[in-house]
Chains A and B, each alone.
Chain A
Amino acid sequence: MKLREVKEILDAEVIIGEDKLDLEVKTAFGADLMSDVLAFAKAGSLLLTGLTNDQVIRTADILDIAAIIMVRGKRPASEAIVLAKGLKIPILTTKYILFETAGRLYAKGIVGCLEKVDNASGRN
């Protein structure tokens, strides 16, 4: 689906990337631990997170994340906004909690970057 539709489903506000709402997305990953994101998130995915700092933006850039969805009404600090603008990474903020955000997107066809990990230690 298009990022525009993600925005509508989540009743989200676009903080950066009004011009990128025609971007196609199919997968998402949700986490507040950056190394989990780095281990599992696929290029072109949505990143659902409660973190708002510079590191989230940098992590998204490193992984070619399509857009960051900040949940629970979180908003990036002004430095993070400048950074995301420079790196051209869209940021949306939604008032839904992480669980609801994921559930609403899943119900409309967005799937996880992976379904489950292969072993008990949490690695794929």
Chain B
Amino acid sequence: MVVWKKLITPVDATDKTPYQRSFYVEGGNFTYAGIVSTSIKSILKQMGLPADVVRKAAIVSYESEINIVSYAKKGVIKLTVDSQTIQIEAIDEGPGIPNIDLAMQEGYSTADQKIREMGFGAGMGLCNIKNYSDTFNISSEIGKGAFLKMIIDRH
């Protein structure tokens, strides 16, 4: 509890010292898929942010995390909280997304059987991320990886 207090205090104080933390995500390993987003959610909750804001951030983080696990070799999810916004960046090393417009389409999915057995592969994840973000950016370099940045307003 003492540890949390130390981490959390600067966030509410001023945006000159935003709270920042990075989490490693392993590609292909479904055992822990979602654990990062569970942690992010609990951090945000303990900061005392409004429930609907926490929920939006948790959803966009979770969909990005599942995509890294599903399609990339490895990645990082970066959480930044300042006085106005929650920012979540999902940066991965993997095949990248050859056609972003296509990937963003509802229902488009290249998910394999393993991913589908987990309940994913509806081709809705990126749409969900866009819908729950106040600002959403996606870019990719083929053969290198994908980069997503989601901003959620705190108020």
Contact = CB atoms under 8 A, between A and B. Distances in A.
A63 B55 contact: yes
Given A53-B117, A54-B30, A58-B37, 10 more contacts: A34-B118, A35-B128, A38-B63, A43-B55, A54-B34, A55-B33, A55-B119, A59-B62, A61-B38, A122-B106
Main DSSP-derived SS at the A contact region? helix
Contacts of A87: 38
A64 B55 contact: yes
29 contacts: A33-B120, A33-B122, A34-B118, A35-B124, A35-B125, A36-B122, A36-B124, A38-B59, A38-B62, A38-B128, A39-B124, A39-B131, A49-B119, A53-B119, A54-B31, A55-B118, A58-B34, A58-B37, A58-B38, A59-B119, A61-B38, A61-B41, A62-B41, A62-B55, A62-B58, A62-B59, A64-B51, A123-B106, A123-B127
Contacts of A62: 34, 37-38, 41, 55, 58-59, 62
Contact of B51 (A32, A43, A49, A58): A43
Contacts of B107: 121
Contacts of B123: 35
Most-contacted residue by chain B among A39, A61, A64 (CB, 10 A): A39
Main DSSP-derived SS at the B contact region? helix
Contacts of B30: 54-55
Interface of B: 30-31, 33-35, 37-38, 41, 51, 55, 58-59, 62-63, 66, 106-107, 117-125, 127-128, 131
Nearest to B125: A35
A67 B124 CA distance: 23
